[in-house]
């Protein structure tokens, strides 16, 4: 679990790399200079 504080509306997202649907790494920096919309589903695919 991360020790970073929760983000607030309009905060800049921290640098991160995740795998896409083809298991290829994609980094936020790959979209530098472009508008990006991120969606997070905190409880997706988890019980509760």
Q: What phi and psi, each to the nearest 5 degrees, are found at residue 27?
A: -110, 150
Contact 18, 26 (CB under 8 A): yes
Which tops the pLDDT comparison, 34 or 4?
34
Q: How confident is the model at residue 3 (pLDDT cuts 50, 70, 90)?
A: low
Q: What is the pLDDT of residue 38?
A: 79
Look up the pTM and report it: 0.57
- What are 13-33's pLDDT values in tens digits? 889 999 989 999 999 999 999
Contact 29, 15 (CB under 8 A): yes
- Tell which residue, 39, 20, 38, 17, has the closest CA to residue 29: 17
């Amino acid at each position: 679990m991360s020790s970073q504080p929760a983000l607030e509306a309009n905060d800049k997202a921290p640098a991160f790399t995740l795998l896409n649907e083809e298991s290829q790494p994609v980094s936020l920096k790959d979209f530098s200079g472009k508008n990006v919309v991120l969606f997070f589903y905190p409880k997706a695919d988890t019980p509760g």
